[in-house]
Amino acid sequence: MEIDYSPAVKQALEAGVPVVALESTIISHGFPYPKNIELAAKMEEIILAEGAVPATIAIIKGRIKCGLTEDELELLATSDDVLKCSVRDLPVAVGGGKTGATTVASTSYIAELAGIRVFATGGIGGVHRAEEGGGGFDVSADLLELSRSNVVVVAAGAKSILDLPATLEVLESYSVPVIGYKTDTFPAFHSISSGLPVPASVSNMEELSQIACMHFKLGLPSGMLVCNPIPAEYAMDNAEVDALVEKARQAAVDAGAKGAAITPYILGALNRLSNGKTSEVNMALALNNGKIAAQLAVHLLSQLEKD
Q: Which segments are annotated as binding site?
A: 84, 104, 138, 140-142
Whether the pLDDT of residue 294 is over 70: the answer is yes
- 176-210 residue pLDDT tens: 999 999 999 999 999 999 999 999 999 999 999 99
Range of the domain at 18: 4-306
Q: What is the pLDDT of residue 136?
A: 53
pLDDT band at 115 (very low <50, low <70, confident <90, very high): very high
CB 190 within 8 A of CB 235: yes
What residues form DSSP beta bridges with 29?
Answer: none
Residue 156: which CATH number?
A: 3.40.1790.10
Q: Which of 23, 44, 72, 112 is catalytic?
A: 23
Annotation marks residue 23 as catalytic: yes
Mean pLDDT confidence for 75-87: 96
Find, among 73, 152, 85, 84, the residue nearest to 112 by Cα: 152
pLDDT given for residue 132 in this prediction: 56
What's 9-48 look like in SS3? Answer: HHHHHHHCCCEEEECCHHHHHHCCCCHHHHHHHHHHHHHH
If one counts every other C-beta atom within 10 angstroms of the C-beta of residue 210, the result is 15
What is the count of structural domains for the chain?
Answer: 1
| Mean pLDDT for the chain overall | 94
What DSSP assignment string belongs to 235-285? PPPHHHHHHHHHHHHHHHHHHT--GGGHHHHHHHHHHHHTTTHHHHHHHHH
112, 159, 240, 280: the catalytic one is: 159
Q: What is the pLDDT of residues 262-275, one digit of tens each?
A: 777 888 899 999 99
In angstroms, the CA 80 to CA 64 distance is 19
Distance CA 155, CA 157 (A): 5
**247 has catalytic annotation:** no
**The pLDDT of residue 131:** 62
Q: Which residues are annotated as a binding site for substrate?
A: 84, 104, 140-142
Q: Are 237 and 191 a contacting pair, CB within 8 Å?
A: yes
Q: Which residues are annotated as a binding site for Mn(2+)?
A: 138
